[in-house]
Amino acid sequence: MNRDELRNAVLEELSGIAPDIDLASFDDNANLQDEYDLDSMDALNLAEAVHKRLGVNIPDQDYARMHCIAELLDYLEKKL
Amino acid sequence: MPSMGADMDSGKLVEWKVKPGDRVKKGQVVAAVETSKAVLDVEVFEDGVVEELYVEEDTDVDVGEPLARIGDGSRVGKQKPQAAGKEQTQPASETKTEPEAEPKATPKKPSAKEPAVVPAAAKPESEGRVPASPAARRKARKAGMALADLRGSGPAGAIVLRDLQSAQPSKPATRPGPGPGFDRGQMRAAIAAAMSRAKREIPHYYLANTVDLHAAEQWLTGYNEHQPPENRLLLSALFMKATALALARYSELNGHYAGDGFTAATQVNLGMAVHLRGGGLVAPAIMDADTLTLPELMHQLRNLVRRARGGGLRVSEMAGGTATVTALGDRGVDTVYGVIYPPQVAMIGIGRAHRRPLAVDDGVAVRLSVDITLAADHRVCDGHLGALFLNEIEQRLQQPEAL
């Protein structure tokens, strides 16, 4: 899975959690909490979706350090 | 039509999920009702056979009006009785106290049971599905339309019946159009009505307490370390559990205030104000929250938030709350003072958990902490009791392993 495919998969899961986010103009480097209004429950749901879809179980400690989709993709690229 | 909370006195029956002759089981979802705030699933209270549906789909029905008759099946298709007042779906609060109530006007048919809502455990739904009302979901399936291709105009962009209507080709509708569904304006009006009533009728008093979360954070980090995301806990679950346990002890804060005064509830059904993405608010309840383990509570919390935003809340969850928690989340504010949701008598506010200097022993330490507040009904109790209640929550949070 290349970076684009990975990004598409992650954004698809994100849009299931926050359907109001406009993916066409999505900014990978924007803070998910501040820019896209994701709360801790949304973030947990995203971690679960990533786990189910990609099989990557991101430890809570690592996940807490990620603030944008770019950081999540960097992490997942190393694990896949 | 069951009561759906203080701010809703009628609803539109948008879908029957059963037909006369169908056998139904207690807790089964038999209909979907669209209110100003959400599309809700209506559950049946007794086992039996659906004998007659009194109301057609897409009809507005006042709370208290009968929806259907459920009995032993011997009267399938018979006429609706003139005095139908007894045979109706009852508000959840009444059915809890009179679960065995029989229609007294019809002693010759002892098997006729009253369909009614019951508090049901939150049912798991599939993840990440397109938010849509149950009626819209079914209609789309029948029509072979993909929900993902539609634009939703309901709460949080949920797809409602009229969205399917407008998306359909010129083919005439099989039945009259659904009429105006709920919209942002109606949601606003419902919140306005309930909150105006609260501020008009309830003499609120307010208390606040800063709670050190050091122990809770340490425990939670250890707990979550080896858990996959689906089993992890959030601080919210700890707050909810500590609050539920404190409510069980201080019953003057847990119950309903009606015309004849305050009645303490026998169980703790903890409501949670859920902010809907795009605007609006609902406050469904987790039943018997004080008896659930943390993982159970967390599961229900996630489920409730998902259904609040995506559709599938039950009437019993909307009307059954005995006290409510409001939290403005991680981006929120240090302190939130709530407005009580009538007929309840207490609203617990959870601020943003953040690090700040606290006095610890003889020094100052930077600790994760949170402001927990109480807005309570002064007709029912005084500040002294409220203070004991907030202290109980604080003490509970110092022993997270015991929650």
- Which residues, other chains included, contact B323 with Cβ-Cβ below 8 Å and sequence gap of 6+? B243, B247, B253, B254, B268, B270, B271, B344, B345, B346, B347, B348
- The reply to whether B292 and B384 lie within a common domain is yes
DSSP secondary-structure letter at B88? S
Closest residue, chain A, to B237 (C-alpha): A41
Interface residues of chain B, partner chain A, Cβ below 8 Å: 127-131, 152, 156-157, 221, 224-225, 227-230, 232, 234-236, 277-278, 301-302, 305-306, 329-331
| Residue B271: inside a domain | yes
Output the 3-class SS for chain A: CCHHHHHHHHHHHHHHHCCCCCHHHCCCCCCHHHHHCCCHHHHHHHHHHHHHHHCCCCCHHHHCCCCCHHHHHHHHHHHC
- The reply to whether B234 and B276 lie within a common domain is yes
- The reply to whether B305 and B347 lie within a common domain is yes
Using the 3D structure, point to which of B157, B185, B213 is the last residue of a domain.
Answer: B185
Using the 3D structure, point to which of B129, B155, B185 is the last residue of a domain.
Answer: B185
Contact A60 B236 (CB under 8 A): no
Give the domain range for residue A24. Answer: 3-79
The yes-or-no verdict on residue B71 having pLDDT over 70 is yes
ipTM of the complex: 0.88
CB contacts, 8 Å: A16 with chain B? 127-130
- The reply to whether B222 and B299 lie within a common domain is yes
CB contacts, 8 Å: A40 with chain B? 234-236, 329-330
What's the average model confidence in pLDDT over B31-60?
A: 84
The yes-or-no verdict on residue B100 having pLDDT over 70 is no
pLDDT in tens, B10-35: 788 888 898 888 898 888 888 888 87
pLDDT in tens, A24-37: 899 999 999 888 88
Select the residue from A31, A37, A41, A58 to test the B interface by mutation, using most B Cβ atoms within 10 A: A41
Backbone phi, psi, residue B151, to 5°: -100, 125
- The reply to whether B170 and B310 lie within a common domain is no
Distance from CA of B309 to the nearest CA of A (A): 9
Using the 3D structure, point to which of B185, B216, B250 is the last residue of a domain.
Answer: B185
The bridge status of strand B346-350 relative to strand B323-327 is parallel
Q: CB-CB: which of B128, B234, B306 is closest to A40?
A: B234
- The reply to whether B181 and B329 lie within a common domain is no
Q: What per-residue confidence (pLDDT) applies to B106?
A: 36
Overall size of chain B counted in residues: 403
Q: What is the CATH number of the domain that holds B306?
A: 3.30.559.10
- The reply to whether B226 and B171 lie within a common domain is no
Q: CB-CB: which of A16, A20, A60 is closest to B232?
A: A60
CB contacts, 8 Å: A58 with chain B? 229
Question: Rounded to an integer, what distance in angstroms lies between the CA atom of residue A39 and that of residue B302?
Answer: 12
Contact B277 A19 (CB under 8 A): yes
Q: What is the CATH number of the domain that holds A31?
A: 1.10.1200.10
| Residue B157: inside a domain | yes
Work out how many domains chain A is built from and give that number.
1
Work out how many domains chain B is built from and give that number.
2
Q: Which residue has the higher pLDDT, B137 or B312?
A: B312
| Residue B257: inside a domain | yes
- The reply to whether B398 and B257 lie within a common domain is yes
Give the domain range for residue B143. Answer: 139-185
Q: What per-residue confidence (pLDDT) applies to B38?
A: 72
